[in-house]
A and B are shown apart, each in its own frame.
Chain A
Amino acid sequence: EPEVTQTPSHQVTQMGQEVILRCVPISNHLYFYWYRQILGQKVEFLVSFYNNEISEKSEIFDDQFSVERPDGSNFTLKIRSTKLEDSAMYFCASSATGTNYEQYFGPGTRLTVT
């Protein structure tokens, strides 16, 4: 069964550094998402992406964040200058169609900012 994959599984970075989290969505899916979960808190929506542009973003997704689909398979989340409060689990998801269709989640990347 096809799965969403994410790399790395754990990323440690120093405050102020740039990080890129990578995701490979399911191959025939058209919609892509990033969510994050700070330890002990809710899973929160960050951004959705379709047809090479952002279709929706939350207030969390400020200018420090960007997303890109650099090729036909990868979907990346970049944090330009990490802060301590960016430490969280970041989940990538994809869906075949848009609103209210099942989103398939990856295993997550644990980002630790020191």
Chain B
Amino acid sequence: AQTVTQSQPEMSVQEAETVTLSCTYDTSESNYYLFWYKQPPSRQMILVIRQEAYKQQNATENRFSVNFQKAAKSFSLKISDSQLGDTAMYFCAFGTSGTYKYIFGTGTRLKVLA
């Protein structure tokens, strides 16, 4: 069975500092995709970053980057220069070719402190 695990239910970080959110997954598939979604309070989930498993280079989007360790089945999200607007629930998600569904982790609630 494919699973996604986020072991940090809550985290906090000071404004302007760097924080890393952890995600591990389990699959026997070789072709898959990984995503980080952000859900601000009372707002919809928006895609932060995505990583294709066949790409060795870690994805980067502005202040957001991932550390993708395929052998370890680890997909962590690093947020640099944290801003108050980064306060949100962050979900790690997984999808494979040939299926439409995403498999989500339980989420990490991140609070950025002024």
Chain A residues with CB under 8 Å of chain B are: 3-4, 31, 33, 35, 41-45, 48, 50, 55-56, 58, 91, 98-100, 102-108
> Are A43 and B101 touching (Cβ within 8 A)?
no
User: Would you give the shortest CB distance from A54 to chain B, in whole angstroms?
Assistant: 10
> Are A99 and B99 touching (Cβ within 8 A)?
yes
Chain B residues with CB under 8 Å of chain A are: 4, 32-33, 35, 37, 42-47, 50, 91, 93, 95-107
> Are B37 and A100 touching (Cβ within 8 A)?
no
| B44 in complex: contacting residue of A41, A43, A105, CB < 8 Å | A105
Residues of B close to A91: CB separation below 8 A: 44-45
CB closest chain-A residue, reference B98: A99
> Are B104 and A44 touching (Cβ within 8 A)?
yes
Residues of A close to B95: CB separation below 8 A: 99-100
